[in-house]
């Protein structure tokens, strides 16, 4: 396993003094009150270990949010675990359930931590291609890839890096498949609130058939502009949560205590914060796309996430790693080559740009991109 592309590209952005649209993180402030809440809890002395499953007040707020957003009840005691980042939850869910020789269905492309986690668990990733421009799932192909060794399928909607979003019909197909073959589901929903153009996010938690065999993973980093706080949660039925916690207790044991208290306060005080996120990020997506209109970059559809794929075949035919290198070193903008998310990259000329940035950052970046 090499070094992740996010480390590589953010380092290069710094080296070259480039605008960093590579690694996904906002360059604007936390929501009002959140930082103050953290300072308050640190000052109040909440600086020792939390319970292994997470601070109860936060787990209760998470259960309320799930009821509000997805219309279902989860027990904060035995179905919700607070984790230091969704990455840890993904790792623990896979370690807890995938054994030597088990197969796990992943899509191609997919987020870069899934496959290494499967391999570390002794499993084998079976990749199913998602094809541009919409990167939709070919469910027939998925069904054809299931074998007696298939243990789990990993879905991710909204999808990093492509920005595609699953619809109700996709979850219908998934339901049939997992019922027929007794599969587990790992549902990475960290971008649940970043869905645009009036579309809805379809969570596995809202589907009893899926919820009873799924680990659903979420991240406060995305919803609260706080990727550096590295805090998220995993929701799974009690039997799966028990297995999950057996691994979690020996990977990190707990998430950071005062952060959990601050998040609980914020969720109680501003439950509607998440309702504003689609319009907030959609405006940024639209601004970035508008600024690039008429340039040699071609924007692909972006239904969700804070990532925009740009096709550069109108500029040149270099492979995407070389193009990203040239872009950061000669033109001052860092982006992510999409081929790194693939096991078998097709001949794509695509780079991924993060638009979770202040408007003025997007304007400056677009100016540089439009000169190419
Ligand atoms: N998820 C973020 C991205 O896709 C980065 C996460 C990381 O740096 N590991 O850019």
d(CA 360, CA 372): 19
Average pLDDT over residues 16-35: 96
In the block, residue with structure tokens 């109860």: 56
With a 6 A CB cut-off, is 85 part of the ligand 1 pocket?
Answer: no
Q: How far is the CA of 355 from the centre of ligand 1 (A)?
A: 13
The confidence score (pLDDT) of residue 364 equals 98
Q: What are phi and psi of 138, to 5 degrees?
A: -90, 95
Q: Is the pLDDT of residue 44 over 90?
A: yes
CATH T-level fold of 5-30+275-370: 3.90.1150
pTM of the model: 0.97
pLDDT in tens, 250-294: 999 999 999 999 999 999 999 999 999 999 999 999 999 999 999
Closest C-alpha to ligand 1, atom 9: 6
d(CA 279, CA 107): 28
Q: Is the pLDDT of residue 131 over 90?
A: no
With a 6 A CB cut-off, is 24 part of the ligand 1 pocket?
Answer: yes
With a 6 A CB cut-off, is 4 part of the ligand 1 pocket?
Answer: yes
Q: Is the pLDDT of residue 1 over 80?
A: no
Residue 76 near residue 63, CB atoms below 8 Å: yes
34-269: CATH number: 3.40.640.10
Cα–chain center distance at 70 = 18
CATH 3.40.640.10 location in the chain: 34-269
The confidence score (pLDDT) of residue 155 equals 98
pLDDT in tens, 73-121: 999 999 999 999 999 999 999 999 999 999 999 999 999 999 999 999 9
d(CA 187, CA 69): 16
Residue 212 near residue 324, CB atoms below 8 Å: no
With a 6 A CB cut-off, is 156 part of the ligand 1 pocket?
Answer: no
d(CA 235, CA 211): 9
Number of H helices, E strands in the chain: 14, 13
Residue 185 near residue 204, CB atoms below 8 Å: yes
CATH 3.90.1150.10 location in the chain: 5-30+275-370
């Amino acid at each position: 396993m090499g070094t992740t592309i996010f480390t590589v590209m953010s380092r290069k952005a710094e080296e070259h003094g480039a605008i960093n649209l590579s690694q996904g993180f906002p360059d604007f402030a936390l929501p009002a009150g959140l930082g103050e809440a953290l300072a308050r809890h640190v000052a109040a002395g909440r600086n020792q270990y939390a319970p292994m499953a997470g601070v109860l007040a936060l787990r209760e707020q998470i259960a309320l949010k799930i009821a509000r957003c997805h219309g279902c009840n989860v027990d904060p005691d035995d179905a919700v675990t607070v984790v230091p980042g969704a990455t840890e939850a993904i790792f623990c869910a896979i370690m807890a359930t995938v054994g030597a020789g088990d197969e796990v269905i992943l899509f191609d492309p997919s987020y870069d931590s899934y496959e290494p986690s499967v391999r570390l668990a002794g499993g084998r990733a079976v990749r199913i291609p998602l094809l541009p421009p919409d990167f939709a799932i070919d469910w027939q192909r998925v069904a054809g890839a299931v074998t007696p060794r298939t243990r789990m399928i990993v879905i991710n909607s909204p999808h990093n890096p492509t920005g595609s979003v699953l619809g109700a019909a996709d979850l219908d197909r998934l339901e049939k498949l997992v019922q027929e073959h007794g599969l587990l589901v790992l549902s990475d929903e960290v971008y649940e609130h970043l869905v645009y153009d009036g579309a809805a996010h379809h969570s596995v938690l809202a589907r009893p058939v899926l919820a009873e065999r799924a680990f659903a993973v979420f991240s406060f980093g995305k919803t609260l502009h706080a990727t550096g706080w590295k805090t998220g949660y995993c929701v799974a039925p009690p039997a799966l949560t028990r297995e999950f916690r057996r691994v979690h207790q020996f990977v990190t044991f707990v998430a950071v205590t005062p952060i959990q208290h601050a998040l609980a306060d914020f969720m109680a005080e501003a439950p509607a914060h998440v309702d504003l996120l689609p319009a907030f990020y959609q405006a940024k997506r639209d601004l970035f796309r508008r600024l690039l209109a008429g340039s040699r970059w071609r924007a692909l559809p972006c239904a969700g996430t804070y990532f925009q794929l740009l096709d550069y075949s109108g500029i040149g035919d270099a492979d995407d790693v070389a193009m990203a290198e040239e872009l950061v070193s000669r033109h001052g903008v860092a982006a992510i080559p999409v081929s790194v998310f693939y096991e078998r990259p097709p001949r794509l000329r695509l780079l991924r740009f993060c638009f979770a940035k202040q408007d003025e950052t997007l304007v400056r970046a677009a100016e540089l991109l439009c000169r190419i």
